[in-house]
């Protein structure tokens, strides 16, 4: 089981300089990936998204990329034809206006578009190999942190399951005593008001009340859901968060019905404790992948 909260970073040195990649993640219903790359490397965004998306299925992920560039060989080109055109035009103007003077190299160098500096071409396929290496290392650290936090969450959920099981057993034990409680209560009230009760009618009334208050079906379903929750926690598949969340919703539905049907103080107290435990479990499950 993995948490959805984590952090990983990596540093890769290559002929293009140093790449620093940081990946942070928080909980989210789906997988949302935000990548921030330098303009020159935007072509790699799709590859980064695809790689990370194959390794991490849920969570909001932010990828920060820093590039400490290495000075690469640059080519300086002079447009000789353009220089000739400039000189031809300048001489023509000089003859026409009877101007004297020589055109120096400093003047020519400052003319627009005479000198061009060509940046070396970045080979995206080659540079991706280094970016991918750093992304993989950052993902490894992120996943390791998410796994460790997931183990902690799993232990807390196991404690909650144990507490909930004990509370449910108390509810089931108390439920079996409710019939006798209401039979005694009716007899006590009858004696208090000097009433003569027909035993057949009394049994019928008690049976009707017990039927309305019977929670055997709900406690059985709740017990089954709780068992399924525990089994899911033990699965090797790390993507269990949504299933656990659904099981908690179903358990909440059953315990609400138990609380509504069981007109008994002891059962009501245990129902409140179970609901509190389910709320704790739900808060933990919200961060499970």
Which burial class, exposed, middle or buried, applies to 209 when counting CB atoms under 10 A from its CB (0-12, 13-18, 19+)? middle
**pLDDT averaged over every residue in the chain:** 86
With vertex at residue 263, the alpha carbon angle to CA 257 and CA 268, rounded to the nearest 5 degrees, is: 70
CA-based Rg of the chain, rounded to a whole angstrom?
A: 38
The residue among 171, 173, 172, 197 whose CA lies nearest residue 183 is 197
Q: pLDDT by residue (tens digit) across 22-49?
A: 999 999 988 999 999 988 899 999 999 9
Residue 196: what pLDDT?
66
Q: Which residue has the higher pLDDT, 77 or 17?
A: 17
Domain tally for the chain?
3
Residue 124 has a pLDDT of 84
**pTM (2 decimals)?**
0.72
Residue 123 burial (CB count, 10 A): 10
Q: How far apart are CA 179 and CA 197, in angstroms?
A: 18
CA-nearest of 11, 10, 23, 50 to 142 is 23
pLDDT digits (tens, 9 = 90+) for 44-53: 999 999 999 9
* Same structural domain, 49 and 98: no
- Specify whether 153 is located in the same domain as 280: yes
Same domain, 131 and 259: no
Structure confidence at residue 274 (pLDDT): 96
Span 195-242, pLDDT tens digits: 666 666 666 766 666 677 788 899 999 999 999 999 998 887 667 899
Q: What is the pLDDT of residues 137-155, one digit of tens each?
A: 999 999 999 999 999 999 9
Q: Average pLDDT of 51-60? A: 93
What domain range is 261 assigned to?
Answer: 149-285
Q: What is the pLDDT of residue 89?
A: 84
Same domain, 153 and 198: yes
Q: Is residue 1 part of a domain?
A: no
Domain of residue 24, CATH code: 3.30.230
92 and 62 in one domain? no
The token duo for 102 is 């020589």
Q: Is residue 45 part of a domain?
A: yes
What is the residue whose two structure tokens read 């998204």? 49
């Amino acid at each position: 089981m993995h948490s959805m909260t984590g952090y990983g970073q990596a540093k890769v040195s290559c002929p293009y300089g140093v790449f620093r990649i940081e990946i942070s993640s928080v909980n989210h219903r789906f997988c949302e990936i935000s990548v921030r790359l330098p303009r020159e490397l935007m072509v790699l965004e799709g590859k980064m998204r695809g790689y990370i998306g194959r390794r991490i299925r849920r969570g909001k992920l932010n990828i920060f990329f820093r590039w400490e560039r290495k000075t690469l060989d640059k080519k300086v080109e002079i447009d000789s034809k353009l220089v000739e055109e400039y000189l031809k035009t300048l001489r023509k103007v000089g003859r026409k206006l009877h101007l004297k003077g020589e055109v120096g190299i400093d003047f020519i160098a400052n003319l627009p578009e005479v000198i061009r500096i060509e940046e070396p071409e970045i080979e995206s396929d080659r540079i991706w190999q280094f970016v991918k290496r750093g992304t993989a290392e950052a993902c490894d650290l992120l996943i390791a942190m998410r796994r460790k936090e997931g183990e902690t969450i799993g232990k807390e959920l196991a404690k909650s399951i144990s507490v909930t099981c004990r509370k449910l057993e108390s509810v089931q034990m108390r439920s079996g005593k409710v019939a006798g409680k209401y039979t005694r209560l009716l007899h006590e009230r009858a004696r208090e008001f000097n009433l003569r009760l027909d035993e057949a009618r009394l049994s019928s009334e008690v049976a009707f009340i017990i039927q309305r208050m019977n929670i055997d079906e709900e406690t059985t379903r709740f017990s089954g859901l709780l068992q399924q929750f525990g089994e899911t926690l033990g699965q090797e598949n790390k993507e269990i968060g949504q299933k656990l969340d659904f099981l908690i919703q179903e358990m909440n539905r059953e315990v609400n019905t138990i609380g509504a049907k069981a007109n008994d103080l002891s059962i009501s107290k245990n129902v409140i404790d179970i609901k509190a435990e389910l709320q704790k479990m739900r808060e933990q499950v919200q961060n499970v992948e």
